[in-house]
Amino acid sequence: FRTSVTLPPGVTKADIATSTPLIFPTANGAEAHALFYAPASSTSALQDGEKPPLVVMAHGGPTGRANPSFAFKVQWWTSRGFAVLDVNYRGSTGFGRAYREALDRQWGVADIEDCLAGVRAVLDRGLADPARCVIRGSSAGGLTVLGALAQSDLFAAGTSLYGVTDLRALAEETHKFEARYLDGLIGPYPEDEAVYLKRSPITQAEGITVPVLFLHGGADRVVPLSQAESMRTKLEHSALHVYPEEAHGFRARETIEDALQRELAFYQQVFGQ
């Protein structure tokens, strides 16, 4: 184990989780990728026979990637007793052109299939508690989160951070460059309006029966606050917290700290802790 920075007082190497690459089967005979992190702490441990809760992360983009380099958002969870599965679903960069192009016209399908397949792979290996799996994602990852909640019973809860809930509204409001991006990921708009509607979480809301936390910036012009507000009204067991000054992607330290604390408390409440 090698560090490139000096650890702060009270933190040791045993407190830093490292990633294990996972390759697992997914839909249509394909394979998908993820990074798995076991909980890491020098001061606490699971009870004998206990399996950790699992946080599944769906990255944004959606053609970004989960990176194995040090990430505070991962360490936050692993240092608090959670395992983390950071999914590089089909469409993620870094795995070749064919893998990247596998998300063409399949956003809202392949990404969800791969997140669900990744959870099943982790559970099959006995690496997490099946009763305490949650999923989180930001921006495009928020759409994946909500779709996964609507299409499976694997999760106890989920969190959407400034996430997409209405693809049709996104297509109508976005600028021309991003519009071409959506054409490739879903189909041309408005010709494929029916596809946009079918893959939007806002039309799948009745399938979501577990608690959902929405965290959104009041000044977000990429994915307007109205997307979270509209989705919130359709879900009985949900909560929305707005950071009025934040845009798309939280920037202020106080916001980031509050959002993480709020999300942790949300899961603890769901788990009955």
pTM score, whole prediction:
0.95
Distance separating alpha carbons of residues 241 and 161, to the nearest angstrom: 10
Task: Please give the single-letter amino acid code of residue 147.
Answer: G
pLDDT of residue 43: 79
Phi-psi region of 4 (alpha: psi -120 to 50; beta: other; left: phi over 0): alpha
Distance separating alpha carbons of residues 66 and 88, to the nearest angstrom: 6
Closest CA to 244 of 229, 255, 232: 255
pLDDT of residue 176: 53
Res. 179 pLDDT band, cuts 50 70 90: low
Local structure of residue 107 (DSSP, 8 states): T
Distance separating alpha carbons of residues 155 and 160, to the nearest angstrom: 14
Model pLDDT for residues 152-162, shown as the tens digit of each residue: 999 999 999 99
Model pLDDT for residues 102-130, shown as the tens digit of each residue: 999 999 999 999 999 999 999 999 999 99
Phi-psi region of 140 (alpha: psi -120 to 50; beta: other; left: phi over 0): alpha
Residue 132 has pLDDT above 70, yes or no: yes
**CATH architecture of residue range(s) 16-271:** 3-Layer(aba) Sandwich (3.40)
**Percent residues over pLDDT 90 in the chain:** 86
Mean pLDDT in residue range 18-25: 97
Strand pairing of 83-88 and 31-37?
antiparallel
Residue 259 has pLDDT above 60, yes or no: yes
Residue 177 has pLDDT above 90, yes or no: no
